[in-house]
Structure 1
Amino acid sequence: MFNTARMALFAALLAGVAGPVFAADFVEPPVVEPAPPPPVYEQPVEYGGWYIRGDIDYHWSKFRGGDYITYGPAPGTGRFDSGKLEGAFSAGAGVGYQINQYFRTDLTADWMSKSDFRGSTSGICLDGDPCTSTDTSSYTALLLLANAYVDIGTWHGITPYVGAGIGGAWVKWDTLHNVTEDGSFEHSGGKGWRFAYAAMAGASYCLTDRVKLDIGYRYSHIEGGKMFDFASGVGPGHDKGINVHEVRGGLRYQFGNSGCAQPEPIAYEPEPVYTK
């Protein structure tokens, strides 16, 4: 009986010591609570890169007057009493570089198709009486410009802009036909390079992530130059310059980031936070 009591006491003591040990082996792991997600930031847009462009337009040219040398009973200088140029189409192309979101430059070449001219001059006919000549011709031009633009901003894919350009124009006048009471006369047309400059305004619209539709207005001024050669006691003649008003439309293809594509968000994986 005594032995039985001793065994019971030993078992009770063993259970009291082992209980905390086994309990320590079954402690639950700490609870992992995810950190609150940080705000999602969009990747910064890096503007820039080369682009090419193609344009067509309809333009109205304004004849700023002209004068010519006369050799006759009263030598001196004559001038056109009137002169008007008809509208015509143009086509052009260019290559440019988008420097940043707000500034770009390009080089453009535009071929201005034939614009008809009709004017009048006054003089003395063969009988000694005053007479009027009806004068007809036409001109074509190749306009080369180095341009700079400011893109004001982009709203819903539309980017308004203003710009200016400077360069030169190769102008070619066709044969000048004079019709008077004495008959008709012809003067060979003049041709040559002239100084030119331009100012423009418009807006572009994103068609795709790389292609933009460009609609705008451009004012170009071409300096005066030789209009026709000497013939029949008159000439040479020089025009005083041509002002050109253009309504333009075209496409620009951007090799770099055009600003049309929406930036992709950067995904963040929150780091787990362990708590005891």
Structure 2
Amino acid sequence: MCGRFAITTDPALLATSIDAINEIPAAADSGPNYNVAPTDGIVTVISRHSEPGPPHTPTDQPTRRLRLMRWGLLPAWTKPGPGGAPAAGGPLLINARADKVTTSPAYRASAERRRCLVPMDGYYEWRPDPLEPGDPAGARAKSRVRKTPFYIHGDGAMLFAAGLWSAWRPDRLSAPVLSVAIITTEAVGELAEIHDRMPLLLPENRWDSWLDPDSVIDTTLLARPPDVTGIALREVSTLVNSVRNNSPELIAPALPEPRQGYLL
């Protein structure tokens, strides 16, 4: 799965580097975020026409655009809460399984024409550690098992995860709330030793076909094993366990555990 990630690139610079229009207001950019968590506003890449349609004129070709969206997709049937915000208590749809996006009622409408990319410097995953002598019986079943955090990142390049987005309205007169889920697939290679799921990472030569709002979804992108060439990982500090922490320390290599005992 993908439950936390980091992105530190300025949206304006990101837009320039991937030939996109930056539609994120400067006031909405909170700066580098080393601990992005569910329900945060996150940068997404979509492809849209300038005018509503169809039909579209030959000169109105879809263009890449950066938009800020709530992490946690809101299906059309989401009930509004007080003040028009999404009602609390429902499932938080931050991840969508690649093998379910075309059939699940929560995702299939978005899979048809609302596909996106979620840029990130890297993401975090937690590896369950073996139980040690003295751990209480049944600790793993009761979710009290120790877990070691890892930071998984590109070797000098950003990662772009496939996603799905929606435009939810509490009523017909309200402005839409844009929201997104990150698609996950089976982890491969060394990453599978940490967690059995990982974001569906797409290389640049697959972006346009994935984002194209005028074409049906290319299901081969969902089915093929992810290419993890150039992906690196490292153990990091347990500071990332708390969403209150947000600094470069979170992605730094973990310091060795202090030795127990006395200096002689």
TM-score clears 0.5 = no
TM tier, smaller: under 0.3
TM-score calculated relative to the size of structure 1? 0.24
Which of 1 and 2 has greater Rg?
1
